[in-house]
Amino acid sequence: MSFAYSHTFALNVLAGYGLMGLGALLGLAAAVWWMRAGEWLRGGTPPAAFRALSTLAFLLFIIGIFWQLAGYLRIEYTRGWW
């Protein structure tokens, strides 16, 4: 069976890739919200929902990157690199 279709690869690497993609999409949604909002853009405080969305997007993106890294290390894909 190919390495790309293995269950271990899917759990360890592709799940992190999905989290990173979801974080990127939420970040884009937050960016569109930022551009559309005119009332709090000029010195006001952003709503709590916007801050929560931005924080969630950032956290999911970072967690996704580290999940992929840990996944590659867990399946010993990086063995022999150094």
Residue 42 lies in a domain: no
Q: Quick one: pLDDT at residue 6?
A: 73
Give 60 or 14, the one with higher predicted confidence.
60
Q: What is the pLDDT of residues 19-50, one digit of tens each?
A: 999 999 999 999 999 888 866 667 778 889 99
Q: Quick one: pLDDT at residue 14?
A: 87
What is the extent of the structural domain holding 58?
Answer: 8-36+50-82
Q: Quick one: pLDDT at residue 72?
A: 81
Is 0.85 surpassed by the pTM of this model?
no
- Domains held by the chain: number: 1
Residue 74 lies in a domain: yes
Q: Which DSSP string do the residues of 20-74 spell out, in sequence order?
A: HHHHHHHHHHHHHHHHH--TTTSSSPPPHHHHHHHHHHHHHHHHHHHHHHHHHHH
